[in-house]
Amino acid sequence: MVSYRTEAEVLMRSIQDAISSGLEQEDGGARFHEDIWEHHSGGGGRSRVISRGKVFEKGGVNFSAVEGSLPAFLGPHITPGASRIFATGVSIVIHPTSPLVPIIHANVRYFESDKGDRWFGGGIDLTPVYVVDAQAAQFHRTLKAACDTLDAGAYQRYKQAADNYFFIPHRNETRGIGGVFYDYLKPGESYSFEQLFQFTQTIGSAFLPAYLPVVQAQKHLPWTPEEKQWQLIRRGRYVEFN
């Protein structure tokens, strides 16, 4: 079996480094604090947290590359008889201080089983407390350009998946303006491993150009205590999306 775990881990580390650096530069004050940890069954990660910055109140850009016994929920997606899994990825949540700067979430990930199963997943979505239509359009244009590198229909598929995923039916409410979301993208008839690897790199690289123009347009605008309170209420809904 050919393993790509080393290449995938290097990719995820580079994505974490680029995004951490870009956010630090944008904040202009706070820096990420890093904790390096080990997983009990193999591998580990680098957790990076920024807090009390000029722009970002708190956020994490976290990398992991771990291995262990196969979780039962992955059974339907892999070859029978697989018992071990390797997973690596980057997960991001950024909460700005200003209620006028949107919250953002993103992740990219790669899995590999001991029976040769391989797949990618990921996505980016934006949660403005106050929506600015032109900025929402710019955010989605950037994601569409990234998705177009895979195929012409990718953006619409993955946008719809994000819209479905980040929706509370009992409130008839979305988490924000959406984005793109994909999972279980496996090499096969439609895409080669190299295409999916490059696509994941492209999605990771799209984070800063999708997000920073919105931050730059909003971060210096004055805001009121009432707007801050609404931001806190919106944050309180997050548990419902999880």
User: What are the catalytic residues?
Assistant: 105
Q: Region of 155 please: left (phi>0), alpha (psi -120 to 50) or beta.
A: alpha
Read off the DSSP letter of residue 224: -
Q: Is residue 233 classed exposed, middle or buried when 0-12, 13-18 and 19+ CB atoms within 10 A define those classes?
A: exposed
Distance CA 60, CA 91 (A): 8
Q: Which residue has the tokens 């210096």?
A: 220
Give the separation between CA 106 and CA 92, rounded to whole angstroms.
5
Which has the closest alpha carbon to 11: 193, 176, 136? 193
**Rounded to an integer, what distance in angstroms lies between the CA atom of residue 206 and that of residue 96?**
19
C-beta of residue 193 within 8 angstroms of C-beta of residue 110 = no
51 strand-pairing partners = 58
